[in-house]
Amino acid sequence: MTDHNPPVDEMHYEQLAQDALRGVIRAALEQAASPEGIPGAHHFYITFKTRAAGVSVPPDVSAKYPDEMTIVLQHQYWDLDVTDARFSVMLKFGGVPKVLVVPYTAIVRFYDPSVQFMLQFDEPEIVEAEIAPLTPPARDPEAAPPPPTGDDDGPKVVSLDQFRKK
């Protein structure tokens, strides 16, 4: 009887394919960051692991979404910065601007419902995410006053569950 060992993928094609597909996300985000913005009815639902390596989210957002969260880039996003390895964007949570930094390797789903286009990725290795400092963003898009510093429940985070397909 002959011993047949299965072939070993020393090229790591699965990882190469995932990296290439993350390049599709980067290209879409580069379009969104351009002066023309996102064309037509396109918009992006980006789901990422909040504790993946390189993710930076404000502490209150991390507390609300300790595992993963989905953000929507459509009409109200600011300061979108796209690099080869990650993107950062300012979004408002309960009317308060917050900056998120997300490496492409933390993304588990990218969905554009306007054309039913979706990419899904293997889950990244989870580490403790960098917690963003409690400093205000460098630029407030609408010059909103700073959040009150009372003994309230803190900023309110809008749930995106109502927008998810069931």
The model's pTM: 0.72
> Using one digit for the tens of pLDDT, what is the confidence trace for 100-127?
999 999 999 999 999 999 999 988 776 6
Per-residue pLDDT tens, the chain, 166 aa: give them: 566 888 998 898 988 999 999 999 999 999 999 999 999 999 999 999 999 999 999 999 999 999 999 999 998 999 999 999 999 999 999 899 999 999 999 999 999 999 999 999 988 776 654 445 544 445 555 544 444 444 444 444 445 555 555 5
* Burial annotation 25-35 (CB, 10 A radius, 16+ → b, else e): bbebbeebbee
Phi then psi dihedrals of residue 134, to 5 deg: -85, 40
The helix (H) or strand (E) run that includes residue 51 is none
